[in-house]
Structure 1
Amino acid sequence: MSILRTSVDPASAGYDAAATAMQAKLTEIEGEFAKAVAGGGADKLARHRKRGKLTARERIELLLDEDSPFLELCPLAAWGSEFQVGASVIAGIGIVEGVECMVIASDPTVRGGTTNPWSLRKTLRCNDIALENRLPIIGLVESGGADLPTQKEVFVPGGRGFRDLTRASAAGIPTIALVFGNSTAGGAYIPGMSDYTVMIKDRSKVFLGGPPLVKMATGEESDDESLGGAEMHARTSGLADYLAADEQDAIRLGRSIVRRLNWRKAGPAPRAQIREPRYDQEELLGIVPGDLKIPFDPREVIGRVVDDSDFDEFKPLYGSSLVTGWAELHGYPVGILANARGVLFSEEAQKAAQFIQLANRSNTPLLFLHNTTGYMVGKEYEQKGIIKHGAMMINAVSNSKVPHISVLMGASYGAGHYGMCGRAYDPRFVFAWPSAKSAVMGGAQLAGVISIVGRAANEARGIPFDEAADAQLRAAIEAQIEAESLPMFMSGRLYDDGVIDPRDTRTVLGMALSAIHNAPIEGAAGFGVFRM
Structure 2
Amino acid sequence: MAVIESQLDTQSDTFKNNKKVMTAAVDEFRGIERRVIDAAHAKAERYIKKGYIPPRERLSLLLDAGAPFLELSTLCGYLQDEDTDGSGAGGSYIAGIGYISGVRCVVGVDDYLTKGGSIGPMGGKKRGRMMQIAMENKLPMVNLSQSGGGNLKLAGDGFGESGIMFATQCRLSAMGIPQITVVHGSATAGGAYQPTLSDYLILVRKQSTMYLAGPPLLKAATGEIATDEELGGAEMHSEVAGTNDYLAENDADGIRIARDVTKKLGWNKNKPIKEVVAYEEPLYAAEELRGIVPEDSKTPFDMREVIARIADGSDFLEFKANLDSGTLCGHIEIEGQPCGVIGNNSPITAKGAAKAAQFIQLCEQSGTPLLFLTNTTGFLVGTEPEQAGIIKHGAKFIQAVTNCTVPKITIMVSGSYGAGNYAMAGRGMGPRFVFAWPRSVVSVMGPAQAGSVMRQVVEAKMARAGEITDEMRAAVDTLEKDTIEAMEARSNALANTARVWDDNMIDPADTRSVVAFVLSVCREGDERELNSNTFGIGRL
- Common topology (TM > 0.5): yes
1:377, CA displacement in angstroms? 0.6
Q: Say which is worse superposed, 148-157 or 506-515, in terms of deviation.
A: 148-157
What is the identity, as a one-letter code, of the residue corresponding to 2:52? K
Aligned to 1:483: 489
Aligned to 1:18: 18
Aligned to 1:360: 364
Q: Secondary structure at the match of 2:162?
A: helix
TM-score scaled by length of structure 1? 0.94
Q: Structure 2 vs 1, CA of residues 124 and 447 (structure 1 numbering), >3 Å: closer, same or farther?
A: same
Where in structure 1 are there 5+ consecutive unaligned residues?
Answer: 523-532
Aligned to 2:533: none
Q: Is the 8 Å Cα contact of residues 274 and 331 (structure 1) preserved in structure 2?
A: yes
1:252, CA displacement in angstroms? 1.1
1:51, CA displacement in angstroms? 1.9
How do residues 401-480 of structure 1 correspond to structure 2 at under 5 angstroms?
Answer: 401-464=405-468, 466=470, 467-480=473-486
Aligned to 1:53: 52
Q: Secondary structure at the match of 1:102?
A: strand
Q: Structure 2 vs 1, CA of residues 277 and 205 (structure 1 numbering), >3 Å: closer, same or farther?
A: same
Aligned to 1:146: 150
Q: Structure 2 vs 1, CA of residues 267 and 451 (structure 1 numbering), >3 Å: closer, same or farther?
A: farther
What is the identity, as a one-letter code, of the residue corresponding to 2:366? S
Q: Is the 8 Å Cα contact of residues 191 and 197 (structure 1) preserved in structure 2?
A: yes
Aligned to 2:174: 170
What is the identity, as a one-letter code, of the residue corresponding to 1:509? V
1:437, CA displacement in angstroms? 0.9
Q: How far apart, in 1, do the equivalents of 2:522 and 2:185 lie?
A: 32
Q: Is the 8 Å Cα contact of residues 356 and 397 (structure 1) preserved in structure 2?
A: yes
Q: Secondary structure at the match of 1:503?
A: helix
Q: Secondary structure at the match of 1:8?
A: coil
Q: Is the 8 Å Cα contact of residues 374 and 413 (structure 2) preserved in structure 1?
A: yes
Aligned to 1:369: 373
Q: Is the 8 Å Cα contact of residues 120 and 154 (structure 1) preserved in structure 2?
A: no
Q: How far apart, in 2, do the equivalents of 1:199 and 1:64 lie?
A: 19
Q: How far apart, in 1, do the equivalents of 2:444 and 2:525 lie?
A: 34
Q: Deviations over 1:469-523 (max 9, x none)?
A: 433332332222222211000111111111100011111111211221232269x
Q: Deviations over 1:403-432 (max 9, x none)?
A: 111100111111101100101111111110
Q: Structure 2 vs 1, CA of residues 460 and 521 (structure 1 numbering), >3 Å: closer, same or farther?
A: farther
In the alignment, structure 1 residue 191 sits paired with structure 2 residue 223: no
Q: 1:338 aligns with which of 336, 343, 365?
A: 343
Q: How far apart, in 1, do the equivalents of 2:447 and 2:72 lie?
A: 29
What is the identity, as a one-letter code, of the residue corresponding to 1:70? F
How do residues 484-503 of structure 1 correspond to structure 2 at under 5 angstroms?
Answer: 484-503=490-509
1:31, CA displacement in angstroms? 2.2
1:270, CA displacement in angstroms? 7.3
1:247, CA displacement in angstroms? 1.3
TM-score scaled by length of structure 2? 0.92
1:174, CA displacement in angstroms? 0.9
Aligned to 1:528: none
Q: Deviations over 1:206-255 (max 9, x none)?
A: 11111222222333221111221112222222222111111111111111
Q: 1:232 aligns with which of 208, 231, 236?
A: 236
How do residues 3-402 of structure 1 correspond to structure 2 at under 5 angstroms?
Answer: 3-38=3-38, 42=42, 44-81=43-80, 82-83=82-83, 84-264=88-268, 269=274, 272-341=277-346, 343-402=347-406
- Identical columns (%): 43
Q: Is the 8 Å Cα contact of residues 378 and 416 (structure 2) preserved in structure 1?
A: yes
Figure out how many residues of one structure are paired with residues of the other and give that number: 520
Q: Is the 8 Å Cα contact of residues 266 and 519 (structure 1) preserved in structure 2?
A: no
Q: Structure 2 vs 1, CA of residues 521 and 6 (structure 1 numbering), >3 Å: closer, same or farther?
A: farther
- CA-based RMSD of the aligned residues comes to 1.8
Q: Is the 8 Å Cα contact of residues 36 and 75 (structure 1) preserved in structure 2?
A: no
How do residues 511-522 of structure 1 correspond to structure 2 at under 5 angstroms?
Answer: 511-520=517-526
Q: How far apart, in 1, do the equivalents of 2:317 and 2:495 lie?
A: 36
Q: Is the 8 Å Cα contact of residues 96 and 255 (structure 1) preserved in structure 2?
A: yes
Q: Is the 8 Å Cα contact of residues 93 and 111 (structure 2) preserved in structure 1?
A: yes
Q: Deviations over 1:110-147 (max 9, x none)?
A: 34322221211110111111101111100110123222
Q: How far apart, in 2, do the equivalents of 1:153 and 1:269 lie?
A: 47
Q: How far apart, in 2, do the equivalents of 1:470 and 1:157 lie?
A: 39
1:456, CA displacement in angstroms? 2.2
Q: How far apart, in 1, do the equivalents of 2:300 and 2:445 lie?
A: 17
1:38, CA displacement in angstroms? 3.8
Q: Deviations over 1:154-199 (max 9, x none)?
A: 4332222221112111111110001111111111112211111111
Q: Say which is worse superposed, 286-295 or 205-214, in terms of deviation.
A: 205-214
Q: Is the 8 Å Cα contact of residues 94 and 101 (structure 1) preserved in structure 2?
A: yes
Q: Say which is worse superposed, 477-486 or 436-445, in terms of deviation.
A: 477-486
Q: Structure 2 vs 1, CA of residues 380 and 430 (structure 1 numbering), >3 Å: closer, same or farther?
A: same
Q: How far apart, in 1, do the equivalents of 2:289 and 2:258 lie?
A: 39
Q: How far apart, in 2, do the equivalents of 1:487 and 1:247 lie?
A: 37
